[in-house]
Homo-oligomer: A and B are copies of this chain.
């Protein structure tokens, strides 16, 4: 594949991500996406066939991108854990910081969750596999390690991974996708980690 071809392709995928994340599948027009990507509409059709094909390609591309970043955060912070509380806090902060960093992606995820009934099952499955499921499995594996070493007490590692992710990014759901100030983010993560480790038992 020539240099120009791949350049145009990523330009389309990234431009489409911006527009699709903001406007959703139905509202986003091919013209708007072409303008954002600085590309002719014809080129989009030549590359992706139709609008649905473009949507699916964008989903997979963005999911892969973000999954790699999250896997890197997992590897960097949970590779060598000594003090469970501080290390989990650091990991939680890195984890929660990455979310607003990929605001477009998570806006796209909200679009996917709204559009689910109108997206082919195969595409959903492909997305889950390259994105969320892969990340959650990796996190669960680390959780299991920590449990085996006696630093945590976990029955179901996959569920524990889900619980952790929920707790450390449990910001006010009235404003999803809005970045918190550093201080608020730290407070949220600290509270999440504390609840994860110690719960609210009296």
Interface residues in chain A, defined as those with a beta carbon under 8 Å from any beta carbon in chain B: 22-24, 26-27, 84, 107, 110-111, 113-118, 128, 132-133, 146-147, 150-156, 159-160, 162-164, 166-167, 170, 172-174, 176-177, 188, 191-192, 195-202
Contact = CB atoms under 8 A, between A and B. Distances in A.
Interface majority SS (helix, strand, loop, mixed), chain A: helix
A197 B196 contact: no
Given A176-B113, A196-B200, A202-B151, A27 B170 contact: no
Contact of A115 (B24, B128, B195): B24
A163 B195 contact: yes
Contact of A195 (B23, B24, B196): B196
Interface centre among A23, A114, A116, A192 (most CB of B within 10 A): A114
